[in-house]
Structure 1
Amino acid sequence: MGGDRVLIDRFLEMMAAEAGAARNTVAAYRTDLSLASETLGGALAEADAAAIGRLADGWATLAKSTVARKASALRRFYAFLAEEGLRADDPGSALPRPGTSRPLPKTLSAGDIEAMFAAIDARIARVPPDRNDLRLSALFELLYGSGLRATELVSLPRGAIVSDRPYLILKGKGGRERMVPLSDRARAAVVRWRAHVPAASPWLFPSGKSHLSRMRLYQIVRALAGEAGISPDRISPHVLRHAFATHLLEGGADLRALQAMLGHADIATTEIYTHVDAWRLVRLVSELHPLIDAGRTRP
């Protein structure tokens, strides 16, 4: 179970740091995932749909609520592995859904994003300037402007972003590369911040002997939300990545292009990860459906 244990620990760290999961939820997920790993002989992370189906068969005598919790833990674990590029697929669809529905992911409105940018601008305008405000600006521009994963962001090399190149090449699991777009704003923010990073640092966002931790990034983002008048419970680095995807999709981005930018191996992950608000769907049908005719009246 050695390999499983490491990945379970990474997943639970994400749940606590980025998703803001309660301590009891994290403990329950650890128990469920550890038992599942033990049942599968330490091969939970690489289990295929057939193995997961056999695992679920063993839950037949359990209460529906217990099955729902176990399935949720595994489903989120596999979604995390796919999101992090540790699996090329997401086998979570093989898990039972006993009368439960998967909630839509959290996201933010354009107004929320504008409020946080305004809070950053107010910080940067202070005299004398604080280098941590420049770091915050670079972090936020890359989280929302490019949709980077938290791990990808905090571990960026110092020279990863070039001022005259409007994209970033990231390498994931198995050597797979993807191109991430960089806005002019993001590149300018990085240039301003990098001037305060020691030339000998291997990291763009150094901290101590390593780079900024995911937990610290989570705390920074929540603190910014509070300054902007947004409930910290609504936000995390992952929510900003989701807002990046959602707002692009609402703006007309192609789902395949979005898949490439997010680094999803399976288009199904992109479809689950993004959503379009119900009001937009209603508007599209009302305005664009070929049977709609403003001048037609019923006989």
Structure 2
Amino acid sequence: MKKQELTITPALIQKYAAYLREQERSPATIEKYVHDLTALSGFLAGRPVTKGALLEWKEDLIGQYTPASVNNKLAAVNGFLVFCGMGELRLRKLKIQKALFLSEDRELTRAEYVRLVRAAQRKENERLSLVIQTICATGIRVSELRFITAEAVQCGRAEVSNKGKCRTVFLPDKLRKLLKSYLQKQKITAGAVFVSRNGKPLNRSNIWREMKALCESAGVAPSKVFPHNLRHLFARTFYSIEKDLSRLADILGHSSVTTTRIYTAESGSIHARQIGRLGLVVT
């Protein structure tokens, strides 16, 4: 394959997807990379991959997406270029200044979390109520929900394998009691606790859609309601009590405390109140 004549085709994208599976990348990551590469292929419209064409695409992205989203798409394409032996065409990511505080329109509070659980209960959606509580009470990723099994509920711990790492997730006693009752009602004796009608583990799109449907009745802004925000709430709550960033990183399955530090960020208004309580204004 001549580097200067590389053209992105569906077959080449699938070949790269197969490589990613061999590298044990998560299904969600592979799906996203395939989507981004397909979009780039559409933008190029049969033109070969050149630095100039890639820069045009990057400029087009900047006009449509947030810097973080642009960088995610660049990462997908840069990995593909290395795979094709054209690493010299990789694009530089946008520089993003690190935010010190969470945006208040994105931060889910404990009171809002409770309202979401109550709203699910009012709709008699016990499964969704327990899904929300399980994610928030353990700090697991929504993709890890499949590891919450009947066996894990019985022994009080789940063995989670994700992104090439394995860790033990402990289930609080109160949560175990609720899950045991749910398992009995659903007549589930083995395997995943939360399954769809056809018996397959729930996926993130199902959970996301059901959670969004609670927003109005729960009185919570839709911008705050998505499964990963429950994980963030767990992290902030744990850190506010324990103040142990390294231990929290282990619990969340993070390789670096730098990532964990993002999860423990609070809103600017909370920080302002903390500064005010220092009592250092004299007059």
> Considering the TM-score relative to the shorter chain, is it more than 0.5?
yes
C-alpha contact (below 8 Å) 1:141/1:185 kept by paired residues: no
Superposition deviation, residue 108 in structure 1: 0.8
More off after superposition, 59-68 vs 271-280: 59-68
Query: Counterparts of 2:242 and 2:219 in 1: how far apart (Å)?
Result: 29
C-alpha contact (below 8 Å) 1:146/1:182 kept by paired residues: yes
Give 2:159's aligned residue.
169
What CA deviation, in whole Å up to 9, does each residue of 1:29-74 have, x standing for no partner?
Answer: 8525999xxxxx9xxxxxxxxxxxxx9xx74996497399596346
C-alpha contact (below 8 Å) 2:142/2:227 kept by paired residues: yes
Provide the secondary structure at the position in 1 that maps to 2:277: helix
Mapped pair 1:137 → 2:135: no
- Amino acid of the structure 2 residue aligned with 1:203: A
What is the percentage of aligned positions where both structures have the same residue? 21
Superposition deviation, residue 141 in structure 1: 1.3
- Amino acid of the structure 2 residue aligned with 1:184: D
Give 1:273's aligned residue.
263
Query: Counterparts of 2:234 and 2:73 in 1: how far apart (Å)?
Result: 22
- Amino acid of the structure 1 residue aligned with 2:179: V
Task: Pick closer, same or farther for the CA change 1:100–1:251 going to 2, 3 Å.
Answer: same
Query: Counterparts of 1:199 and 1:228 in 2: how far apart (Å)?
Result: 30
Give 2:145's aligned residue.
153
Give 1:10's aligned residue.
28
Query: Counterparts of 1:209 and 1:107 in 2: how far apart (Å)?
Result: 33
Q: Give the length in aligned residue pairs.
A: 240
Q: Which runs of 5+ in 1 are unaligned?
A: 16-25, 36-40, 42-54, 81-93, 125-132
One of 175, 178, 183 as aligned partner of 1:189: 178
Query: Counterparts of 1:197 and 1:78 in 2: how far apart (Å)?
Result: 45
Give 1:235's aligned residue.
225
Provide the secondary structure at the position in 2 that maps to 1:276: coil
One of 67, 72, 79 as aligned partner of 2:68: 72
Mapped pair 1:263 → 2:253: yes
Superposition deviation, residue 230 in structure 1: 2.0
TM-score where L is the length of structure 1: 0.62
Superposition deviation, residue 10 in structure 1: 2.0
- Please provide the CA RMSD for this pair: 4.3
